[in-house]
Amino acid sequence: MKKITPILAIAALAISFTSCKKDYTCTCKDSAGTQTAQYQFPKVKKSAAEDGCNTWHTAAQVSGGSCSLD
């Protein structure tokens, strides 16, 4: 049991670093491929930035455009 405790502590530390928060940018383009907008998502998890960018992507699709996370 004494040997397992340090291994579990190292594993927990490694897992805590995998969900770090970063700055993300969502770039939107019109149907011609011209950049129309950029939305910043500062200090968030990637999944939150993807959710936000997907919302903008859905709105941009109405006019033939698209948005993607950079």
Can you give the pLDDT at residue 20? 83
Res 54 pLDDT > 90 = yes
Please indicate, yes or no, if residue 8 is contained in any of the structural domains.
no
26 exposed, middle or buried (CB, 10 Å; 0-12, 13-18, 19+)?
buried
CB distance 8 to 51 below 8 Å: no
Question: Which one-letter DSSP state was computed for residue 7?
Answer: H
- Is 40 a domain residue? yes
| pLDDT above 50 for 68 | yes
Structural domain of 46: 21-69
Q: How many CA atoms lie within 13 A of 68 on its CB side?
A: 7
Give this prediction's pTM.
0.69
The number of folded domains in the chain is 1
Q: Is 39 within the bounds of a domain?
A: yes
Stretch 50-58: mean pLDDT, rounded?
Answer: 96
In a domain, 63, yes or no: yes
- Residue 7 placed within a domain: no
Residue 14 resides in a domain = no
Q: Measure the CA–CA gap between 13 and 20, rounded to whole angstroms.
A: 12
For residue 19, give the 3-state DSSP assignment. Answer: coil
Query: Is residue 3 included in any domain, yes or no?
Result: no
pLDDT in tens, 5-52: 555 445 444 445 556 899 999 999 999 999 999 999 999 999 999 999
